[in-house]
Amino acid sequence: MTLNATHDPALCSWVASANAVGSDFPIQNLPFGVFEFEGDGRIGVAIGDHILDLYAAIESGALVLGSEAACALSARTLNDFMGLGQCEWHAVRVAISHFLAEGSASHESLLRAMNKTTMRLPAAIGDYTDFYAARAHATNVGRMFRPDGEPLMPNWLHLPVGYHGRASSVVVSGTDIRRPSGQLKPDDAAPIYGPCRLLDYELEFGAFVGTANEMGSTIGIADAMNQLFGLVILNDWSARDIQKWEYQPLGPFNAKNFASSISPWVVTMEALAPYRSEGPARQSDDPPLLEYLQPAAGSADAIDVKAEVFLASADMRAQGTSPMKLSSGTLSDLSWSFAQMLAHHTSTGCPMNSGDLIGSGTVSGTEKSSRGCMLELCWRGTEPIELPDGTERRFLLDGDELTIVAFCEKVGAARVGLGSCSGVIQPATN
């Protein structure tokens, strides 16, 4: 994707907070989300520490868009707008950029303060698929559970491995997470039913599908990125002890279906253009890819989005202690791109719909400081982490708040943030 005037790092907005150093939402970003207004949902665009109310802007005549886009952006979710496709997405981005640019007429009455606004899920998510696309994560898990064998399963280097998740339990950031109960298997006893003891987070990113494909048709690798609307932060909460007992032979089930949190703002693929590059890279001894998974020449399928994970216990929050940074990661550590995931997902003719969500799987790098979950950071509980309140963590405890922040930055481009994704662990109910 080529850069255009909306990416100009010198561009400023009449919304002063958007021009602040370190802002997640400068005018070069313009992510879409859904916020509550008078008991209903409205689509907005984040700008600085405010939200541009698109419904109000369109209804007042201040923001002039094409009829299809105006109708789609007056809806209660982003699904219709996501389905319009890249040309409409670009036209709307250009129009909003011009509307908010310094020198254009200011419309303060169309702004809503973020700190006084409740966010909703950005789309009605019909289906959710989670992948397993970071080589370091797959290798670490393989070494833990198959210490005498090859860490990577034979298929891992040939195709993006994934599973169908549960869309009904995808929640927006800030939603409390109830500790799940399930069937657990002690090492030397029969299974029991009780609260999960090994609750974990997973640092991930999610990509929203934009334009749909019909059942029986495929999305080619050359077109895949153009059919993805944008990215969010994703935390795929995991019950490791439930997972250990249930996952053979068909993979994750109840260990993954109780909650997955996403950040509320969808940063578009166009906004991420300055941070896209060819890739992902493969190692010299990796097997060749089948043609349908080979990135097109000059494609920009790899995205360098940085993330940081923080943990704060209930006592830390009560004492005003700053959250503890657990790890850092980058989306560029993936060995399979979202384009390859989408191309593979539809290679059988599987229909994808606007608003479907694709998860990256845990994003982990080769260093311990870049491991994306407690399972890896604490190496199955053998290397506990000490918190500032004097307690240790092998896995998450009730009252813990887990927060992931993500952003892109480099010389010559405006910093673009994805905001944050957080949740507080609440005790099990049974």
d(CA 421, CA 309): 10
CA terminus-to-terminus distance, the chain:
51
Chain region(s) in the chain for CATH 3.90.850.10: 128-426
Residue 7 annotated among the catalytic residues of the structure: no
301-322 burial string, b = 16+ CB within 10 Å, else e?
Answer: bbbbbbbbbbbbbeebbeeeee
The CATH superfamily holding the domain 128-426 is Fumarylacetoacetase-like, C-terminal domain (3.90.850.10)
- Given the candidates 3.60.15.10, 2.40.100.10, 3.90.1010.10, 2.30.30.230, the CATH classification of the domain at 5-120 is 2.30.30.230
Residue 354 has pLDDT above 80, yes or no: yes
The per-residue pLDDT for range 374-397, each reduced to its tens digit, is: 999 999 999 999 999 999 999 999
Q: So what's the pLDDT on residue 394?
A: 98
SS3 182: strand
- Catalytic residue, chosen from 137, 158, 344, 345, is 137
Cβ–Cβ < 8 Å for 254, 242: yes
Class of residue 123 by CB neighbours under 10 A (exposed 0-12, middle 13-18, buried 19+):
buried
The per-residue pLDDT for range 93-139, each reduced to its tens digit, is: 999 999 999 999 999 999 999 999 999 999 999 999 999 999 999 99
Chain region(s) in the chain for CATH 2.30.30.230: 5-120
366-400 burial string, b = 16+ CB within 10 Å, else e?
Answer: eeeebbbbbbbbbbbeeeeeebeeeeebbbbbebb
Total-model pTM: 0.97
